Chains A and B, each alone.
Chain A
């Protein structure tokens, strides 16, 4: 295997953060459907809460695209030749957002679902439900930050 293969595996692994988002958004969606069943007017508000666990997938996508740009996959210039060490370095960059993204997405989905329940019972308390879900997101943001800082400071 050359370094290029490892870099591409890294790009793919970063995109896996979407798994967490998909599950999280799914969990929140189930709760939202229950609440909207009782009061259809709450659709728009539940949608906001349901969207919250969706960000991990986006963070994963960001890292994937940045890896693409970094290794020259996008832009028509052709892929750079990477050594084994460089390829593994790129791969390492993808790990934080992938692993934290998956688990935090699921956990945030659960928190968002609880927030949606809260919205169902006390409409005026929606803001607090959003904040609870956002507490989880902090760790996905940190993981993104670590991935980004690693990638930006690669030095090749």
Chain B
């Protein structure tokens, strides 16, 4: 349903120009959850912002359901990392969730009903009348997710959605995304720098190289559903996959001799979770 063809983007001109995207090809099928990982500064956000129509890419095509994207598509929802800036502090939680539905031409009553339903789905039924700043970070991001669900977009984009919450909250929110996706049959493109997260959540992981970003590799994630924070992460297949993704992110080829399981683990360990990769551009 999403088709990105040879997408290139350069910021600025002349000697100061920075090429963020160096020709990206990417497909997302209906109902799929694709995670995009890459080193910091790899242009992941540039890719997402191009798809959302927030910036005009220098070159290339983006099609959603065979319609070329030239402006903001109006049929997708973005969940930003910075929930506290993305939610409107002068509106209650319910009003925040209901606002985009004006674009759907729904009347007040229908908007409120849809907002209530979405808030219920993220476990915030009791917070409708509160203001975002009265809630914890994790709850605020739940509101942002509810806002995206209520809109019923054909595609949900998530830009490092759990980058600003603590580890426990992060796991809860990851499971919430899987739940939402299952209940609402959503198509999701999620951007993260966290290798574990990409493997845990994705049906497929797309790895970007450092800038100018290209697709360094793609790995299908054939892990069973429902996924579980403990059980899934201890599956040998999970450990193997995250090592594979880790290698791709670091730009390492497979070692000539098969690595021992220990080395695999060590490699994966240090590129995952909080491990910050050397900044690339």
Chains A and B come from one and the same complex: no
Seen from chain B, the residues whose Cβ lies within 8 Å of a Cβ on chain A are none
